[in-house]
Amino acid sequence: MIVTLLLAACANVAVPMHGGEAPPLTGSPIDAPTGTADWHVDANGSGDFTDIQDAIDAASSGDWILVKDGTYGPIDYAGKSLWISSVNGPSATIIDAKSRGYGVTATLGETSRTALVGFTVQNSSEAAVYTDFSSLHLEDVRLTDTTGNYVLYGHGSDLELQDVTIDNNDARTAVFYVWRGSTQLNSVTAECGRGGYLVYTGHGYIQIDWSDLECSGRASTVFYSEHTTGTILRSHLVGNLVTLNEDKHPEDSVDLYNTLLEGSYSTTYGGILIRNSVVDGGKVTYVNNADYPGTPVIESSILLNSSCAFSSDSPSGTVRNSSFWNTTASCEGVEYGGVDGNLTDDPELVDADAGDYHLTPGSPLRNAGVDESGYEDVDGSRNDIGLYGGIYSQDGGW
């Protein structure tokens, strides 16, 4: 597998890039309604309707539709900003597209109060979720058994995913495909489809937090962005990571904090920040280009178990206070190991082969990260190198 990071962004989003600061945490920005639902749906006939779409057609924007256990047909929000939630969650409440078209559609300007909470969406032949210039919040949702080109498609949309699982999909182009919009993934578990990408984002903003995204065994590109600004933090990614900076926007970046990358990785064309992260089994490649300027920055991170760790035709890049182990620090003659606080000693990890990258008590990586304000560990001490150092490592770990 090869991971490449291609950066760029059109979104007017204020995100700190390469300073000591890190981005705010993601989370659900909207609260669930309280009191009594406006409409009740029950497949057995005890509610106002037996079908969710009938309730949508009768509702007005701002209404709450509460759905009891059962299997229902696909839904279209029809331009209405509605909170649709289930009584007993995704295992008991299913939207079944029956291998025809989309499971959930929002394409008529639905606002940020539009939500689907506690459902399984299955058997979609085009996309489980399709949005166009609309907002949609998905929470406690499973998207499964999707065929076609996408699992979730968004164009000009603001999408928020909280506690979402995507599995058993056969997407041919991308699992997530978002163009000219804003995307937040918080506690998302997803696997690649038949080919293409897991996450593809262009001309927008993205933040991924506490998520597990894997392309092992089927497709190699776990994340691909072009002209996109954003962050990936406290997540586990397996596969090819690509960021593309276009149109001479060096300020655009998708930055990584406290993230584990497994596979073979390269970072090309544009600024890239990797901080308090681990690259296991691959390399970071930065290619400087007059049309795609930028400065690679690797700080307080561990790069291990590869033929070489960092490849660059631009020695002006910053690689500091990082650990190189069971690898050659530089692929092309610029030796970073032992320079600018970098280490080549055994990092003394608990059990990297088993996926445990905690530092043992005697590890030389303790208190060896960047010694500057804004980089401290959660206890206020000097930054540790690796996943469990820095201000975004909660309680010393995640």
Rg (CA), the chain: 22
Is residue 374 in some structural domain? no
Q: Which SS3 state, helix, strand or coil, does residue 56 take?
A: helix
Is residue 312 in some structural domain? no
pLDDT in tens, 277-332: 999 988 787 766 666 666 678 899 999 998 888 877 665 568 899 999 999 888 87
Q: What is the per-residue pLDDT for 11?
A: 28
Is residue 380 in some structural domain? no
d(CA 356, CA 360): 10
For the chain, the average pLDDT equals: 85
Is residue 57 in some structural domain? no
Is residue 60 in some structural domain? no
Residue 351 in this model has a pLDDT that exceeds 90: yes
92: left (phi > 0), else alpha (psi -120 to 50), else beta?
alpha
d(CA 330, CA 202): 31
Residue 386 in this model has a pLDDT that exceeds 90: yes
Q: What is the per-residue pLDDT for 315?
A: 57
CA distances from 338 to 173, 319, 325, 342, 366 (A): 43, 11, 12, 5, 16
Is residue 66 in some structural domain? no
Greatest Cα pair distance in the chain:
73
By residue count, the chain amounts to: 398
Other Cβ atoms within 10 Å of 218 Cβ, number: 15
Going by pLDDT thresholds of 50, 70 and 90, the confidence category of residue 23 is low
Q: Mean pLDDT across the stretch 249-272?
A: 73
Nearby residues of 305 by Cβ (< 8 Å), 6 or more positions away:
280, 281, 325, 326, 327, 352
Nearby residues of 300 by Cβ (< 8 Å), 6 or more positions away:
275, 276, 321, 322, 369, 370, 375, 383, 384, 385, 386, 389, 390
Could you give phi then psi for residue 352, rounded to 5 degrees? -60, -35
Q: What is the per-residue pLDDT for 1?
A: 28
Closest CA to 305 of 340, 334, 265, 268: 265
Q: What is the per-residue pLDDT for 100?
A: 87
Residue 165: domain span: 3-35+112-299
pLDDT in tens, 28-85: 556 889 999 999 999 999 999 999 999 999 999 999 999 999 999 999 999 999 999 9
d(CA 13, CA 127): 28
Q: Mean pLDDT across the stretch 342-356?
A: 94
Is residue 227 in some structural domain? yes
Is residue 100 in some structural domain? no
For the chain, the domain total comes to: 1
pLDDT in tens, 101-130: 999 999 999 998 899 999 999 999 999 999
**Pairing mode, strands 328-330 and 308-312:** parallel
Going by pLDDT thresholds of 50, 70 and 90, the confidence category of residue 246 is low
CB 307 within 8 A of CB 281: no
Q: Mean pLDDT across the stretch 346-373?
A: 95
